[in-house]
Amino acid sequence: MSGLPEGVWRDVVGQPEAVAELQHAVAHPASMTHAWLFTGPPGSGRSVAARAFAAALQCPEGGDGTCHACRTVLAGTHADVRLVVPEGLSIGVKEMRTVIGLAGRAPSQGRFQVVVVEDADRMTEQAANALLKMLEEPPARTVFLLCAPSLHPDDVSVTIRSRCRVVSLRTPPAEAISEVLVRRDGVEPVLASWSAAASGGHIGRARRLARDDTARTARAAVLDVPLSLTSLAACLQAADGLVGTAAAESAAATSAADAAETEAVKASLGVGARGPGVAAASRGAGQLKELEKQQKSRATRIGRDTLDRALVDLAAFYRDAMLIAGVRGDLTRVPHLNHPDRSADALDLARKVGAEGALRRIDAILAARTALEQAVKPQIAIEAMCVALRLPA
């Protein structure tokens, strides 16, 4: 595998141009800037690239991947590297101000204070304004690394973008994803190749598909939906299944963490104690309410992300059908399928709905995604979508 990046860059998959640009900035301090914006489609590795860059900035050797600085940055424990990862639906101004205050200090161990903001598109307007003030007058040895899906104003404001150097990532090729699954995660080559092809270029998704039977089952259930929508009752049943699966995944992902967090806060407040602890516990009721609010927000985000992943899979499946219909069912003339293992189903769907019908259904899926972003209740948005996806009589 000659030519693959080494050191901290090994897991920045399929991004040779971006890695070269970042390595040049590390090696030539004159080309450094105080703010960087990593953009790219979901699964392209925005946060992975940002963390690798943070490690390289702190490493005396520019990111060898073996020193204490590299290991601690990648593990999230370096004293001068702060990670802002939204637990709920957004990154609030209070959290951002706290991080900015710490980032303004001189580095204690490394060469820079580095702040990595994952999902910077989830900053509230107030949080973005607080960050903007820091970017306008940055400390000399502080670097901000922001990650967002695109340069669209809905993802990152023009004023913030204008103060950042943009690093554009692309969807990595399936071969590169397969290689990293085999090398890093020990996945069998055949399974790695299938997972990479089925992931739509999403590295994290490929890893889940390779390692989790539940993820493979859930994907199969989603891709079974289009050909099952033969009646109104089937549409409503499919919607119940999609929404129910998202709710179940959210509950499974949050229940253990929620219980541990709640018990930790109760213990710190002295809930259940006698004497002076009773008064302290009563004063901490607000803290428990705030924690409950954060936990609900986190559960909502996970549920929405799960639903969105299913909608992306559906849109990609209808895209396959549209391409197949466009070449009159000749699969040899389709250069790339998003779901190559379901080509027979895509062919069947193409025959039933045609290219124009597939395109209309993609529009319906995109409309459902927009509705979910605008806080429409999932059950309503998904039911409306499934009815729009119904097969012709």
CA distance 136 to 75: 30
318 within a domain of the structure (yes/no): yes
pLDDT the model gives residue 88:
73
Across 54-75, average pLDDT: 94
Do both 270 and 374 map to the same domain?
A: yes
Do both 182 and 298 map to the same domain?
A: no
Do both 57 and 83 map to the same domain?
A: yes
What is the pLDDT confidence band of residue 87, given thresholds at 50, 70 and 90? confident
What is the pLDDT confidence band of residue 1, given thresholds at 50, 70 and 90? very low
Do both 309 and 367 map to the same domain?
A: yes
User: Where are the strands (E) in the chain, listed by range?
Assistant: 35-39, 81-84, 113-117, 142-148, 165-168
Do both 189 and 86 map to the same domain?
A: no
242 within a domain of the structure (yes/no): yes
pLDDT the model gives residue 231:
97
CA distance 203 to 174: 9
Given a cut of 50, whether residue 2 has pLDDT beyond it is: no
218 within a domain of the structure (yes/no): no
How far lies 199's CA from each of 177, 272, 319, in Å?
9, 48, 15
Task: Give the model confidence (pLDDT) of 220-259 as tens digits.
Answer: 999 999 999 999 999 999 999 999 998 888 888 777 676 7
Across 352-363, average pLDDT: 97
220 within a domain of the structure (yes/no): no
1 within a domain of the structure (yes/no): no
* Better pLDDT: 139 or 56: 56
Contact criterion met (CB below 8 Å) for 14 and 170: yes
What is the pLDDT confidence band of residue 354, given thresholds at 50, 70 and 90? very high
The CATH number of the domain where 154 resides is what? 3.40.50.300
pLDDT the model gives residue 380:
96
Q: Find where tokens 């607080």 sit.
A: 130
Do both 124 and 198 map to the same domain?
A: no
Given a cut of 70, whether residue 189 has pLDDT beyond it is: yes
2 within a domain of the structure (yes/no): no
What is the pLDDT confidence band of residue 118, given thresholds at 50, 70 and 90? very high
Question: What are phi and psi for residue 116, nearest 5 degrees?
Answer: -105, 115
340 within a domain of the structure (yes/no): yes
Task: Give the model confidence (pLDDT) of 295-328 as tens digits.
Answer: 777 777 777 888 998 999 999 999 999 999 999 8
Contact criterion met (CB below 8 Å) for 116 and 103: no
Task: Give the model confidence (pLDDT) of 268-287 as tens digits.
Answer: 766 655 555 555 555 566 77
* Better pLDDT: 334 or 284: 334
Do both 139 and 178 map to the same domain?
A: no
CA distance 86 to 316: 27
Q: CB within 8 A of 265, min separation 6: which ones?
A: 284, 287, 288, 291
Structural domain harbouring 200: 174-211
Do both 23 and 160 map to the same domain?
A: yes
User: What is the CB neighbour count within 10 angstroms for residue 293?
Assistant: 11
Task: Give the model confidence (pLDDT) of 204-221 as tens digits.
Answer: 889 999 999 989 999 999
pLDDT the model gives residue 18:
95
326 within a domain of the structure (yes/no): yes
Helix (H, G, I), strand (E, B) or coil at 259: helix
Do both 179 and 85 map to the same domain?
A: no
Task: Give the model confidence (pLDDT) of 7-33 as tens digits.
Answer: 999 989 999 999 999 999 999 988 899
Do both 188 and 239 map to the same domain?
A: no
Across 39-64, average pLDDT: 93
For the chain, the domain total comes to 3
